[in-house]
Amino acid sequence: MSLEKVVFAFFIVLALTLNFGFFIGELDNPAHHDAFELGAALVVSLIATVLKFGDRSQMGAVLLATSLVADLQLLLAGGLWIWAVHVAQVDTASVITSVVSLSGGALLANLISVVLLVAETIVIRR
């Protein structure tokens, strides 16, 4: 068992689960979506992206692309939330739907990444 592969898979799955934890709940209820959980999902997603650099295979390129999509969507979600609450001083309830929707896009990208990782693992085992 390779420690590098364990760490790699750990961060990919952790990014997915943190994003799912933020995403789940009523779409328009700010009480169901914690800003710190969104921040943690973004940080872990960025770490997972960094771990994907260096893999020069076709699968590595697709995994990196899905991770970059997730990072972009989480950055946009966090940026929108910060801008709305701290700059525009808008109530969180009015922007939470857009923030959660962006997080949903990142969730889908993370899910694709995990599915590809599992598929690659199954193919390598055979």
Looking at residue 126, its pLDDT comes to 60
Looking at residue 46, its pLDDT comes to 96
Q: Rounded mean pLDDT of 46-65?
A: 90
The DSSP code sequence of 55-80 is --SHHHHHHHHHHHHHHHHHHHHHHH
Q: Which helix (H) or strand (E) holds 6?
A: helix 3-23
Q: Rounded mean pLDDT of 111-120?
A: 93
Give me the half-sphere count of Cα atoms (radius 13 Å) on the Cβ side of residue 106. Answer: 36
Tens of pLDDT, residues 1-54: 788 889 989 999 999 999 999 999 998 888 899 999 999 999 999 999 999 887
Q: Has residue 80 got a pLDDT over 70?
A: yes
